[in-house]
Amino acid sequence: MIQAQLQTQTRADEAFDCLQTAIVKGDLAPGEKIGEVELCSRLNLTRGPLREALGRLESRGLLVRRPHAGVKVVSVSAAELLELYRIREVMEGLAARQAAERMPDEEIRDLLATLDSHEKMIEEAQGQAYYQAEGDYDFHHRIATGSRNAKLAQMLLGDLYYMVRMYRYRLSTSAGRPHMALGEHRRIVEAIAQRDGELAEFLMKRHINAARKNIEKKIQEGVLTI
């Protein structure tokens, strides 16, 4: 069944996913110029589908492309990372509010259970940053889809998160605010469970704002240089 799903996926889609994760994980360094033929041999396909994938990646802002000059991975400054968090603040605030209005009870229960398991994992793994980052990603992912706003979810999941994760991987998952973030997550979900959209939006905005300030502080301290 899952094979059929993969089978219907075209090779351009495959290349798109592969390159996207490669960029996010940092396997392709930002600013790195990549040749098409080299990628073709590495991904086992020809330049037709590859160019289609490159076009889609460019459209999403992960690549920059100059005609006849080649494509290179987008290189973003620290200032731009902070700008991304400003956008996240308002968009995820909206997502939280709409999730409070529309998220089914079952999904909320699931989300709470996931928070519990994440909490256990983190306590057992003693601040294993990986689980924290993964849990954080999962949480925001669910809120976005829970908003039942298709375009909003698409913009968050398809555009912003990939760029944010790109930095996350590079900065070794920022690794700040160990389980403080989890408490904030829990309160946001509680507000959603109580169908208090205004509160959920406020808490989410504050949550992301805190994360942004944390990054800002680290940059000023010189810990993070991008």
- Nearest distance, CB of residue 36 and DNA, angstroms: 4
* Residue 36 contact, options DNA, a copy of itself, none, Cβ 5-8 Å cut-off depending on partner type: DNA
Nearest-CA neighbor of 219 among 148, 167, 179? 167
Determine the Cα–Cα distance for residues 43 and 60; give it in Å rounded to an integer.
21
Contact 95, 188 (CB under 8 A): no
Determine the Cα–Cα distance for residues 226 and 211; give it in Å rounded to an integer.
17
* Residue 100 contact, options a copy of itself, DNA, none, Cβ 5-8 Å cut-off depending on partner type: none
Q: Report residue 64: phi and psi, to 5°.
A: -120, 145
Determine the Cα–Cα distance for residues 170 and 176; give it in Å rounded to an integer.
14
- Nearest distance, CB of residue 154 and a copy of itself, angstroms: 6
Nearer to DNA, 74 or 108 (CB): 74
- Contact between 56 and DNA (CB under 7 A)? no
Instruction: Annotate each residue in 20-49 with x if it binds DNA (CB under 7 A) or - if it does not, as one string.
Output: --------------xxxx-------xxxxx
Which residues lie below 8 Å from residue 88, measured CB to CB, with a gap of 6+? Answer: 156, 160, 164, 208
* Residue 157 contact, options DNA, a copy of itself, none, Cβ 5-8 Å cut-off depending on partner type: none
Q: Which residues bind a copy of itself (CB under 8 A)?
A: 8-10, 12, 48, 51-53, 55-56, 58-61, 67-68, 80, 83-84, 86-87, 89-91, 93-94, 98, 149-152, 154-155, 159-160, 163
Instruction: Annotate each residue in 81-120 with x if it binds DNA (CB under 7 A) or - if it does not, as one string.
Output: ----------------------------------------
- Nearest distance, CB of residue 150 and a copy of itself, angstroms: 7
Contact with DNA (CB under 7 A): which of 1, 2, 6, 69?
69
Determine the Cα–Cα distance for residues 52 and 209; give it in Å rounded to an integer.
37
Determine the Cα–Cα distance for residues 33 and 119; give it in Å rounded to an integer.
41
Determine the Cα–Cα distance for residues 99 and 93; give it in Å rounded to an integer.
10
Determine the Cα–Cα distance for residues 171 and 25; give it in Å rounded to an integer.
11
Strands (E) located in 67-175: 70-73
* Residue 204 contact, options DNA, a copy of itself, none, Cβ 5-8 Å cut-off depending on partner type: none
Contacting residues toward DNA, per CB under 7 A: 7-8, 10-12, 34-37, 45-49, 51, 65-71
